Amino acid sequence: MPMPRTQFKDADIEERERRHFDRPPTPEDGLVAKIMNVIRRTNITVSPPAHNKPIIWSDPIDLSARVTVPAAVGAYQTVIQYQAPPGRWARIDGYGVQVLDAAYTYNGSLLWRIVKNGVEEVGPGLSNWAEQRGSLVNMRPIYIRVEEDDVITFQVRRAVAAGAPQDVDMGLTGWQWPLRMNYEGTGAVVTSF
């Protein structure tokens, strides 16, 4: 047999509310009120990790260039250079190289490297490589954090003499954002006023 539901009259509800709100405050009530004030006045912004691309306030970096590499052995020549502007950070997330000669076999006669602030050690395997890595259509993924005023340079050189000069396409992609919207790593900013 089902239990009968208790029917409260408006007078009963009003009496319960009066007893609840008319009782003297306890120390817990003050603490709860303070916590509620902090919660109401707190703005919590959580940023996603750096590998998520910022959408709204980021600016894309999409750099590409074609260079003719001479047939003679020579020093590295800069093809692409990117400097993070003042007040901005950036992330380079892709790079690609492509020799336009269909007969070229990526045999080590051309070498590439990526340099950050004049130092070759940007990351493992990013200096003096000879194989094809990505292209302008399908960039090879990478993670290079570029802080304010850092300079990233993408270079190529002839390591072994060839019969003729060769045209090479090179590219870097990524994005930059205002420093105040720093997206490097998971973080939270709590503002209370």
Structural tokens at position 123 = 């990351």
Strand, coil or helix: 16: helix
pLDDT, tens only, 100-155: 988 888 899 999 999 999 887 677 788 899 998 899 999 999 989 898 999 999 99
Structure token digits, residue 16 = 């319960």
Q: Under a CB-based contact definition with an 8 Å cutoff, are residues 142 and 93 in contact?
A: yes
Instruction: Say yes or no to pLDDT of 41 above 80.
Output: no
- Please enumerate in sequence order all residues whose Cβ is within 8 A of that of 47, keeping only pairs 6 or more positions apart, or say none: 181, 182, 183, 185, 186, 187, 188
Span 159-169, mean pLDDT?
93
Query: Which string of b and e fits 37-59 if b means at least 16 CB within 10 Å?
Result: eeeeeeeeeebeebeeebeeebe
Structural domains in the chain plus CATH codes: 10-47 (no CATH), 59-181 (2.60.120)
